[in-house]
Structure 1
Amino acid sequence: MKLGLSLSYQSRWSTPADHLALAQEADRLGYSVVWVAEAYGSDSVSMLAWIAGQTSRIDVGSAVMQIPARTPAATAMTAATIDTFSGGRFRLGLGVSGPQVSEGWHGVRFDKPLGRTREYVDIVRRALRRDVLAYDGEHYTLPLPDGPGKALKLGFRPLRADIPIYLAAVGPKNLELAGEVTDGWLGIFVAPDQIEGQLASIAAGRTRAGLDLKGFDVVASVPTVLGDDVATCADVIRPHAALYVGGMGSRKQNFYNGIAVRMGFAAEAAEVQDLYLTGRQRDAAAAVPQDFIDRTSLIGPKDRIKDHVQRYAESGVTTLSLHLFATDRESSIATLRAVAEAYEAAGVA
């Protein structure tokens, strides 16, 4: 198992300089990859290109580039460009986002996400191979049949045609798709004691493609807080967990709420959602079970974190990516170093 760093998008609590400093420190410490997210603020592509130009060894990955935000051809162009300019250090993480962002921000209907994702990945791979793009799918048609367009191919030769592609997935069917058509899974709220079922879904997809799990990258993005008191560390993560479990989606469709339900927190997940959607975010955060946070995070002193790192490695996670919840740059860098030391002590490299 390797270590990674999960950077979020820009917010009022962060600066581009903070994120660059963390990426450079992770590069120095030997972390394998730095991931950058996007929602409806700063985009992942710009940040990744900027970070790639100021690091030397660490891979840079999108977690994610939103499928409704870009055509598959545009995504292939971007992936080929960043990978070539970085010397082969780019990883393309994709995700359909959710209905509120897809329809409210991008104006793209959130329907048949599995079929759209399958076609999207297929077109990206063809474009990276420099195939002439002629595609007749349910969701994508290239070129359009009733206009002057013609089938084209990527206009330069990228460094790699086989840039690794990852899929952010939660439900069983999406996990199967990740196993079938991509090279890795981007997981959130991953619990070592629950991952067996998720890996089984991925393995089913791999089998359908005539493959096994060997070489497939299982990435767990884990909230990380270093400190002496476990409960205090958990409190730092509560607003984040409440946002996802309670507010990231509607009552009818919240994928992250479903994770909590499958972990055995059905009543608690319903309460968090009710509180969050009625404007009581502080109460929603307080209602997130500490056990949910503990099972999906790295919290507490370094020795305790070492034990949890071992659990993730034993569970089948191949990249443990830290989502830092420190209050400032210095504390974040100290956490990066402490977890690297715990990782070495755990002997899971």
Structure 2
Amino acid sequence: MTERHVHLPVAAQESVQDFVDQAVKAEELGYDFVWLPETWGRDAVTIMTSIAHATEEIGIGSSIMNVYSRSPALLAQTAATLQEVSDGRFRLGIGPSGPAVIGGWHGEDFGNPLRRTREYVDIIKMVLAGEELDYNGEYFNVSGFRLRCDAPEPAPKVDVAGMGPKAVELAGRFADGWHAILFTPETMADRLEDFERGGELGDRDRSQQQCTLSLTCCALEDGEEARELTRQHSAFYVGAMGTYYRDSLARQGYEDEAHAIAANWMNGDREAALDIFTDEMLDDFTAAGTPERARDELRKFADIDGVDAVSVGFPRAATEEQIHATLEALAPGEE
């Protein structure tokens, strides 16, 4: 049975307590896991620690922490500590993010993100296993480091986010799971083949790996308002967040639309960009509308063979009230 997760808002909230309240609400409603993104707002570690102290059973994870702003050894230390404070409920999600964030915010050269991500996974897993580092890679040559506390038992799982075929294959080959975002149901099936091929190359046990699909959702009694909020969110990602999301849409049969959305957005014509993001595209990539419609749209993704968890995310402009309404409408058992 597909698990139901929550992808906490990527947009800034009024306070850390807002994130904690959303996680507590998710736990009360029976969600299995909460994931927290980290971009350029509050840092994820402090918020996840606060959530761990305020909850008892729900899983907690990062989706995603990038592989540039913290060293792999520091990320491993962080994962070990969060596993301790959450009493074994933590799962580490990492990925390269994109050049717009990595170069523009962190001032780092994006380089070869796939190779860098692979080295992060290798090093993090060595540290979490309690091993002394002796690693020679393209990006990292490290030795002599070992946790000065007991290694976590069990070690937290390490997941990788990816959109392109090679990135997804890498997740299957080296990581414990794959985080997917902005895929149609048809394309998810193709990328799952890449994930499973990677698992075969890495001699991994697929039953021990997890595919988590993050899905932008909005379920309101005013279904048109829900869809408009979701359309604005989706167009923003295609138009303003570098080339990754645009390229992903293009690979999935929406090349003309993706480039037109990006061009209009960058030229300041937001309305034109929104007009290009059609209702058909909205239904292909999101679950939005009245509670009944949003549940039907979400079910299309939850029923994909190989998707282990669907993570309910929210539009950037959604209010606290709209977030809670969506949480309630799409909670496990509400189908």
Normalising by the smaller structure, the TM-score range is over 0.9
Task: Check 1:152–1:227 CA distance in 2 against 1; reply closer, same or farther (3 A cut).
Answer: closer
**Mapped contact 1:222–1:296 kept (Cα < 8 A):** yes
CA–CA distance in structure 1, aligned partners of residues 295 and 239 of structure 2: 30
1:146 aligns with none
Distance in 2, Cα, partners of 1:264 & 1:9: 26
Q: What residue number does 1:49 align with? A: 49
Mean Cα deviation higher: 40-49 or 171-180: 40-49
Deviations 1:301-334 (A, max 9, x none): 2332332333222213211111124843333223
Structure 2 distance, partners of 1:274, 1:329, is 31
Segments of 5+ residues of structure 1 without an aligned counterpart are 144-150
* Aligned 8 A contact 1:73 1:124 in 2: yes
Match of 1:322 among 299, 303, 312: 312
Q: 1:196 to 1:327 in 2, by over 3 A?
A: closer
Counterpart CA distance in 2 for 1:33 and 1:237 is 22
Q: Write out aligned runs for 1:268-279 (5 A).
A: 268-279=257-268
Kindly tell me: are residues 10 and 314 of structure 1, through their superposed partners in 2, closer, same or farther at Cα, counting changes over 3 Å? Answer: closer
Q: Which amino acid aligns with 2:310?
A: L
Q: Is the 8 A contact 2:126 2:133 kept in 1?
A: yes
Question: Partners of 2:298 and 2:11 in 1: how far apart?
Answer: 27
Closer/same/farther in 2, CA of residues 303 and 9 from structure 1, 3 Å limit = closer
Alpha-carbon distance between aligned partners in 2 of 1:28 and 1:241, rounded to the nearest angstrom: 29
Over the residues paired in the alignment, what is the CA RMSD in angstroms?
Answer: 1.8
Q: Which residue of 1 aligns with 2:156?
A: 163
Q: Say if 1:68 and 1:108, in contact at 8 Å, map to a contact too.
A: yes
**Aligned residue identity for 1:185:** W
What is the TM-score when the length of structure 1 is the normalising length?
0.90
Question: Structure 2 vs 1, CA of residues 2 and 168 (structure 1 numbering), >3 Å: closer, same or farther?
Answer: same
1: CA distance between counterparts of 2:295 and 2:11? 29
Q: Percent identity?
A: 33
Which consecutive residues of structure 2, in runs of 5 or more, have no partner in the other structure? none
Structure-to-structure mapping, 1:168-317, within 5 angstroms? 168-228=161-221, 230-249=223-242, 254-316=243-305, 317=307
Q: Aligned equivalents of 2:293 and 2:318: distance in 1? A: 20
Q: Contact (CA 8 Å) 1:37, 1:43: kept in 2 or not? A: no
Structure 1 partner of 2:322 = 331
Cα offset for 1:294?
1.4
Write the mapping of 1:2-151 to structure 2, written as runs, cut at 5 A.
Answer: 2-9=3-10, 11=12, 14-143=14-143, 151=144
Q: How much has 1:32 moved relative to structure 2?
A: 0.9
For 1:314, give the aligned amino acid.
Answer: D
Secondary structure of the 2:206 match is coil
Task: Identify the range of structure 1 (234-243 vs 304-313) with the bigger mean alpha-carbon deviation.
Answer: 304-313
1:35 to partner: Cα distance: 0.8
After superposing on structure 2, the runs of 4+ consecutive aligned residues of structure 1 that deviate more than 4 Å are: 228-231
Residues 194 and 10 (structure 1 numbering): CA distance in 2 closer, same or farther, change over 3 Å?
closer
- 1:251-275 CA distances to partner (integer Å, 9 max, x unpaired)? xxx1111221122211111110111
Look up the SS of the partner of 2:271 in the other structure: helix
SS at match of 1:315: coil
Aligned length: 332
Over residues 271-311 of structure 1, what are the superposed CA-to-partner deviations in whole Å (9 max), with x where a residue is unaligned?
10111122223332232122122122111223323323332
Aligned residues of 1:81 and 1:158 also touching (Cα < 8 A): no
Contact persistence 1:169–1:175 (CA under 8 A): yes
* TM-score, normalised via structure 2 length: 0.93
Give the SS at the match of 1:225: strand
Contact 1:170 1:187 in 2 (8 A): yes
> CA, structure 1 residues 136+88, in 2 after alignment: closer, same or farther (shift >3 Å)?
same
Shift of 1:345: 5.0
3-state SS, counterpart of residue 139 of structure 1: coil
Letter of the structure 1 residue corresponding to residue 45 of structure 2:
V
